[in-house]
Structure 1
Amino acid sequence: MAIATVLSVDVAILAEQATRRPSAESAQGAERTELVAAADDRRISQEVAPLGRRLDPQFMIVSRDRAAVPDELLEKVRRIEGVAAVERVDGARAELAGKEVGIFGVDPSTFRNLTPKPTAGHDGLWRNIAAGDVAVSFVLGSDGGVELNSRVPVSGGSRANQVRVGAYATMGIGDIDAVVSKATARRLGMVEDNVLLVALDPKSAKSTKATGRIKKAVGRLVPKKTGTLRTLDPSFDFKSSGGSGSSLSALEIRTAINAGMTKLGMPYVWGGESDAEGGYDCSGLLQWAFRQAGIRLPRVAEDQARTGPVVPFEQARTGDLLIWANDPTAPGRISHIALYLGGDEMLVAPRTGDVIKIQKVYFRGFRGAVRIDRRAAVRMAG
């Protein structure tokens, strides 16, 4: 069936519309209910301040040259009208259990206020981090195979340590898949206070004009020679997601599918995006496949989901991207993606321990089909 779908994709793109909805199957990781490891009795219980006012960070300033964000800059940003909170954290690229991840070193008592609601509200999670554990994103644990309560090597700076995995918790900031306390970050040799997170007052954040004004004000305070300013968008708006009507051609879709099919049987590898890494993860596979057709996609599933309008499965066409939100620690966040082949089948890199394969579409956590828009893909890929 899948081979026929590939060969007839020109016709399928124009004429196919799903007529039946397959029965639901369990999504990767959806069956996991244990998210926080029990406190380690061998360690002194760490007290953490209760949850305060929870906010979503809109901007991230990263200092260059391994330097801390200056106090002066922090205070200037704090005084901008509409800014509700600023938080300095330690940021680095780290190797955790053999996987490259983004990692933050944080003050659990204050940083928790800038995380998704389920994560922010779990006292035990933040006590574990304060006691020396690492919290990894739900997808890194579920799909990446990093086991809760295991001890894993973490190298985020000049030194490496064995650290217990104390929780699965997505922090709502793309590319950040691990969080430790600042004390643990010091033991790892991470640069101190080189990242500044900026959260707006919700009333200001709702106004595009106000958000743009604040972004310009923040940007003026961050010369390119001293740091970079990144806009954060932790939420996914299904209503506003879309494109300009510049659809991919049948040839481009056919080329991407044919390319993806050449990877059947290769292992799922967290962070994998090339044969050189021994395999691919879900978004890495799609990025590579569409690149063979001359289409640039962003790297992660959440950004790939923003490359076109979202439609119900009943309207899905061959070549659409299928998206899921399986993460209970960050509800609504897109955490998995696959390529629709038609006939209720998809090409997917599932999770650690599995291989790239064709399987039936399942619907637990399913959020729709994305029809790639050429201009939106270019914009998201940067």
Structure 2
Amino acid sequence: MRWASRRMLPTVVGVSLATTIAADLAMVIAGPFHPPSLRLPGGQLVAAADSTSYHVAALQKTITPHLLVASAQTLPADAIEKVRQVKGVKDVEVVDAARAYVGGKRVGVLGVEPSTFRAYTPQASAKSDALWNNIAGGDVAISFTMGQDGGIPLASQTRIGGKDHQTSVRVGAYATMGIDQVDAVVSHYTAQMIGMPSGNALLVSAPHANLTKLRGKLAELLPKGTKTATLESRFDGPTVPGGTSGAPGRVMTAEQVNTVIRAAESKIGMPYVWGGESDREGGYDCSGLVQYAFAQAGIKMPRTADIQAFAGWRLPYSQAQPGDLLTWKNDPTFNGVSHIAIYLGNGKMVVARHTGTLIQIQNVYLSNFWGAIRVNPQLAATKA
């Protein structure tokens, strides 16, 4: 079973984005950056400037990115042109990439040309003229989960920059951009204002290429130290009604299930912390709790909910068993899983909900519910 939309959310596999985006933001301008403001009709988005002054080009098509290439330094123009000419490469988009602090969280940030980059994002984001007008005018767009679950209000001012020097930028939109661990996007101009490296990364679309061979070819063309991650389009895992207890390793053992549940319940009462995955961070988010609990049972899980949801078989809630994952699609900006919990049985689950709450046991609810996931440890490890 596949999603109806052909534009699926890609996720970084093989090489983590944290190592691919090698540049850390070391310095930003000292003064705040406050573009003029304008609330759009309906009040759902806030534009940073009048749309007649900041009007991006209309969306002509959508493009599926297959590789993310990043360096700590600006990529040479001649090397970028050589990438464009490689057999199998269809489209290349130059972006700025760095790990920076946004609202106190260290996340992947891209600086982009809104008129062209929009084509590389999920359909809901790509189609929103208001979103890209906002970014062009100086706003930052943050992921839906970072904004809603992380407690950063839409239209608020948030600090963005390096650890020691940050500036204030308006949160113009919640919008998932379709690249795992990239949680904020700004324009090239704003990226320069906050001190990001310029043109140090590429999105490459190569729909018919052997991506392993292509990565090797790009390594020959680009400066030493440049890193490349594969963006693999996700697909729905097989739905197997019942009968999933096959060969060893295909599903968890009873001992592993008990270990996972005990580990998750040991964190009850700790705060929800967006991006949290350990006690030293003061708490956990929903997928961080899942990753921690399964690790105690020797099961390596991917980090984010949208990838964890494809670590096994998707089942209806009526067939859920203790130790299964429960998943929800709450993000209106892409057709993917944005929330996850661990099922305890008898209509109960242990979950990290959102900023301002504690990890807790609560009743299962089915609004926006997507499915129960019977985890396959071997599959989970490959996706991690």
Q: Any conservation in 2 of the 1:130–1:181 contact (CA below 8 Å)? A: yes
Q: Within the alignment, does 1:338 sit opposite 2:341 as a pair?
A: yes
Q: Any conservation in 2 of the 1:345–1:358 contact (CA below 8 Å)? A: yes
Higher relative contact order (CA 8 A, sep 6+): 1
Q: Within the alignment, does 1:85 sit opposite 2:91 as a pair?
A: yes
Write out per-residue CA displacement over residues 135-172 of structure 1, whole angstroms, 9 at most, x where no aligned residue.
00111111111101100110158842100000011101
Q: Any conservation in 2 of the 1:88–1:197 contact (CA below 8 Å)? A: yes
| Corresponding residue for residue 113 of structure 2 | 107
| Corresponding residue for residue 218 of structure 2 | 221
Q: Any conservation in 1 of the 2:47–2:139 contact (CA below 8 Å)? A: no
**Number of matched residues?**
336
Supply the distance in 2 between the matched residues of 1:35 and 1:106 (Cα, whole angstroms). Answer: 25
Q: Any conservation in 2 of the 1:36–1:168 contact (CA below 8 Å)? A: no
Supply the distance in 1 between the matched residues of 2:94 and 2:156 (Cα, whole angstroms). Answer: 29
Supply the distance in 1 between the matched residues of 2:204 and 2:319 (Cα, whole angstroms). Answer: 39
Residues 299-338 of structure 1 aligned to structure 2 (within 5 Å): 299-331=303-335, 333-338=336-341
Aligned-residue offset at 1:236: 3.5
Write out per-residue CA displacement over residues 194-218 of structure 1, whole angstroms, 9 at most, x where no aligned residue.
1110123xxxx3xxxx34x244123
Q: TM-score, normalised by structure 1?
A: 0.82
Equivalent residue of 2:288, what SS?
helix
Distance 1:120 1:376, change over 3 A: same
Gaps of 5+ in 1: 1-33
Supply the distance in 1 between the matched residues of 2:273 and 2:163 (Cα, whole angstroms). Answer: 23
Equivalent residue of 1:192, what SS?
coil
Q: Any conservation in 2 of the 1:172–1:234 contact (CA below 8 Å)? A: no
| Corresponding residue for residue 175 of structure 1 | 181
Supply the distance in 2 between the matched residues of 1:236 and 1:166 (Cα, whole angstroms). Answer: 30
Q: Any conservation in 2 of the 1:269–1:280 contact (CA below 8 Å)? A: yes
| Corresponding residue for residue 236 of structure 2 | 237
Letter in 1 for 2:103: A
Aligned-residue offset at 1:130: 0.7
Supply the distance in 2 between the matched residues of 1:120 and 1:371 (Cα, whole angstroms). Answer: 33
Q: Any conservation in 2 of the 1:136–1:179 contact (CA below 8 Å)? A: yes
Supply the distance in 1 between the matched residues of 2:376 and 2:180 (Cα, whole angstroms). Answer: 22
| Corresponding residue for residue 58 of structure 1 | 66
Q: Any conservation in 2 of the 1:157–1:190 contact (CA below 8 Å)? A: no
Q: Determine which structure has the larger helix proportion and give its number.
A: 1
Aligned-residue offset at 1:352: 0.6
Aligned-residue offset at 1:79: 2.3
Gaps of 5+ in 2: 1-41
Q: Any conservation in 2 of the 1:321–1:372 contact (CA below 8 Å)? A: yes
Find 1:121's aligned residue among 118, 124, 127: 127
Equivalent residue of 1:246, what SS?
coil
Distance 1:35 1:180, change over 3 A: farther
Residues 242-261 of structure 1 aligned to structure 2 (within 5 Å): 246-261=250-265
Aligned-residue offset at 1:40: 4.3
Letter in 2 for 1:248: M
Supply the distance in 1 between the matched residues of 2:104 and 2:190 (Cα, whole angstroms). Answer: 19
Superposition misfits of 4+ residues, deviation over 6 angstroms: 240-244
Supply the distance in 1 between the matched residues of 2:343 and 2:362 (Cα, whole angstroms). Answer: 10
Supply the distance in 2 between the matched residues of 1:128 and 1:249 (Cα, whole angstroms). Answer: 50
**Between the two proteins, what is the percent identity of the paired residues?**
48
